[in-house]
Amino acid sequence: MFANARTMGNDASIHQHKLSSNANSCRQSRIVELSSIVASNTLKLDQYFASAGVPTPSFDIDAPVNIPLPPDLESLRESILDASTELNELLLGPRETMVDWQFNYYVPLHAISHYKLAHTFPVGEEASFEDIAEKSGLSTPLVRRLLRHAIANRIFKEVRKGVVAHTAMSRLLAEDTLFQDYVATGEDTLRATSYTVRAMLKYPGSEEPGQTGFSLGEGSDDSFYQIMASDPRRAERFMNCMIMKLQGPGYDVEHLAGYSLWETLPAGSTVVDVGGSHGEVASAIAKRYPSLKFIVQDLEATVDVHTHLSDPLEGRIRFMAHNFFQPQPVKGADAYILRWILHNWPDKYCLKILRNLIPALKTGARILINESCLPEPNTMPNRADRKLRVNDTLMLTLFNSQERDEEEWIDLFRRTDQRFRFVGMSTPEGANLSTLEFEWAPV
């Protein structure tokens, strides 16, 4: 049939006419459906960028780090990303999709981080591979190999043969200290990941925090937190990684501050934030509800360095040193918050944390769990589902813990004590964390 390729113009037109005539009776293929979603929704976003005077996304050095979008357009962006991801993988096919997973992607990124290659020349200027090699202590051939792999992934760009400049992504590695620590922390998680199955084989069914891929990779029986405590710089690096992660809009404390319970609590009610760090959550709620009082509990070292509170909040928020593996000292509070605490602990330890609350609880006291809640199968867009599953695997790798779905959260409280009553769950639009509410109902 290839011999007749030059004479196919008329045939193609006829064929196209037939396709048009039968359009109503033919179902669109999935790849055409996906491409239509990408095209139409991208046009809407582009129109918004133009009308709002927002720069269109690019990899240029001065491109914004985040794309600022109102909530309704954020969901539009997610639909484009979901559709384009699926379209890409359909066109690759199953084998090439799996082969295309870049297991070695982190090698050049780790080298760039470790040898501070992004710091070898200023942002806005250019440097040769030889210049970078001289400043980093690496050989020129090795620098060339590492950077060209990074360049293929849009980290740096080769403006002329042998000469590189920064892009928006390499600029982050040069100027954003939180992002630098985020990348450097990958060294810990990558090693832990490679040891996770070995830990599963060595410690089948373990719920011990010191029997993880992370601990095995460290050659230790200590838990993640114990190992980090022994190396302050490493602990700081991990903390900065978490701070960067929490900077996204999906983790904004305002999602929890807008929870409906706060409106129903009587004036003068006390709320205890267990493991509340420096009081970010308590401050956000207190600003909205001036009649509520707060006690923020955390380990002594954290409480001792808490940020000074603005005058309107003085006297309404106080800090208390407390280890949640010890009995709760604040008795009779109206509500207790545990935000992003329990997903770091296996069930057996979560049961201890929750049971330590019980002697302090009065009838009607509320326990609020602010955590990721895994979705039911096929109920969430694919990209969002993937992120949650990645986090779930990371909990296994680092802590022998897990993310949980709604039924698993309810079951955890049921096993803690049958007197806990599940009130309900709320996930605000745009939030990555859900709020699950339980009531202490002993009667």
C-alpha distances (whole Å) from 78 to each of 87, 345, 375 are 14, 31, 17
Strands (E) in 283-379, as ranges, are 293-298, 317-321, 335-339, 366-371, 373-374
Q: Is the pLDDT of residue 9 over 70?
A: no
- Tell me which fold the domain 106-175 belongs to: Arc Repressor Mutant, subunit A (1.10.10)
| Catalytic sites, residue numbers | 343
Are residues 156 and 109 in contact, defined by beta-carbon separation less than 8 angstroms?
no
Q: Is the pLDDT of residue 6 over 60?
A: no
14-29: pLDDT as tens digits? 344 444 445 444 578 9
Q: Is the pLDDT of residue 256 over 50?
A: yes
Instruction: List all residues 6 or more positions away from 92 whose beta carbon is below 8 Å from its beta carbon.
Output: 100
Are residues 434 and 370 in contact, defined by beta-carbon separation less than 8 angstroms?
yes
Q: What are phi and psi of 404, to 5 degrees?
A: -130, 155
Tell me, what's the pLDDT at 306?
59
Tell me, what's the pLDDT at 312?
60
Question: Binning pLDDT at 50, 70 and 90, where does residue 246 land?
Answer: confident
Instruction: List all residues 6 or more positions away from 273 whose beta carbon is below 8 Å from its beta carbon.
Output: 279, 281, 282, 294, 295, 296, 297, 336, 337, 339
Q: What is the token pair recorded at 435?
A: 């709020």
296-337: pLDDT as tens digits? 999 988 887 655 566 668 789 999 999 999 999 999 999 999
Q: State the Cα–Cα distance between residues 412 and 343, nearest whole angstrom.
A: 12
Q: Is the pLDDT of residue 441 over 90?
A: yes
pLDDT-above-90 percentage for the chain: 75
Domain borders along the chain are: 29-100, 106-175, 177-246, 249-440
Q: Is the pLDDT of residue 413 over 50?
A: yes
Q: What is the token pair recorded at 405?
A: 């779905």
Least confident of 115-129, 239-253, 341-355: 239-253
The residue-averaged pLDDT of 181-199 equals: 92
Q: Is the pLDDT of residue 209 over 90?
A: yes
- Tell me which fold the domain 249-440 belongs to: Rossmann fold (3.40.50)
Per the model's pLDDT, the better-predicted residue between 152 and 20 turns out to be 152
Query: Tokens 């609020």 map to which residue?
Result: 368
Are residues 43 and 35 in contact, defined by beta-carbon separation less than 8 angstroms?
no
pLDDT-above-70 percentage for the chain: 92
Query: Tokens 């002329």 map to which residue?
Result: 160
Tell me, what's the pLDDT at 308?
58
Judge whether 106-175 and 249-440 match in fold. Answer: no
User: b or e along 318-334 (b: 16 or more beta carbons within 10 Å of the residue's beta carbon)?
Assistant: ebeebebeeebebeebb
Q: At what angle do helices 168-175 and 177-202 cross, to 10 degrees?
A: 90
Is the model's pTM score more than 0.85?
yes
